[in-house]
């Protein structure tokens, strides 16, 4: 990664930060830096990672995707 002139190297990070800004930062006004820091942490750890639906997971949340994968592996 980080090869000079390769526009795809940074695509994942750019997409994540674009979503973070659109879904969280531009919709809220925080009074302190610590409040903003906690809000971003909550977004990443409590919403984006386990709950938010992802295109790569067939529009399932990561938690739901893993649950279905486990059930399929067990043969249920």
60 burial class (0-12, 13-18, 19+ CB within 10 angstroms)? middle
Q: Are the C-beta atoms of 42 and 28 separated by less than 8 Å?
A: no
pLDDT digits (tens, 9 = 90+) for 7-63: 677 887 888 889 889 988 888 888 999 999 999 998 888 887 778 888 888 888 888
Q: Supply the pTM of this predicted model.
A: 0.56
Backbone angles phi, psi at 60, to 5 degrees: -115, 155
Strand partners, 54: 60
Name the residue with tokens 């930060």: 17
Domain boundaries, the chain: 11-74
d(CA 39, CA 21): 12
């Amino acid at each position: 990664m980080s090869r000079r002139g390769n526009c795809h190297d940074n695509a994942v990070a750019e997409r994540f930060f674009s979503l973070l800004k659109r879904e969280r930062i531009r919709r809220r006004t925080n009074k302190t830096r610590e409040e903003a820091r906690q809000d971003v942490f909550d977004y990443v750890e409590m919403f984006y990672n386990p709950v938010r639906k992802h295109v790569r997971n067939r529009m399932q949340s990561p938690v739901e995707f893993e649950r279905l994968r486990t059930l399929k592996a067990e043969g249920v």
